[in-house]
Amino acid sequence: MKKIIFILLSVILVDQLTKGILLYMLTGGVPLYGSAFDILPYPYLMGRVTGFFNLVFTWNPGTAFSLFREMPSIILIALTGVIIGALGYHLFKNANRPHEKWALSLIVGGAVGNLIDRIRFGAVVDFLDLHAFGYHWPAFNFADICISIGVAIYIIHWLFFSKKAK
């Protein structure tokens, strides 16, 4: 149980810390709340790190890949809260195997990290940009990485381990 809580809190802390550092670098402060586009209205290319990776700054008012960006923020907040609640319940009440617990901890921690942004600013801070041959993957953040890794672990767990347990 302590490991689950440690993973959850670590994901949230690192996510919020990286976003806070980025906001500080761009604005000279870390706003506690406010309308995202009033705080920093435009996307910025902060710097090229490698030939395939940039640091950028952008707000994502939607979900993954900017889907549902026109949906009111309050609806996205409510839906995210319900999903976090359901996954959190499963994590603490039903998850039995270590793979499953790790996966759900990463997913829930990442979702909470992005939910904090959405509540504070009405949008999520994204700043990592992968690109190749002129094509850019949508910008993402640490919470998104944790969610993606957690989903991959969960799928692998489900495909290869859950059926053997039955």
Active site residues: 126, 144
**What is the SS3 string spanning the chain?**
CHHHHHHHHHHHHHHHHHHHHHHHHHHCCCCCCCCHHHHCCCCEEEEEEECCEEEEEEEECCCHHHCCCCCCHHHHHHHHHHHHHHHHHHHHHHCCCHHHHHHHHHHHHHHHHHHHHHHHHCCEEEEEEEEECCEECCCECHHHHHHHHHHHHHHHHHHHCHHHHC
Tokens of 21: 């550092």
Q: Which amino acid is at 54?
A: N
Phi and psi torsions of 156, nearest 5°: -60, -45
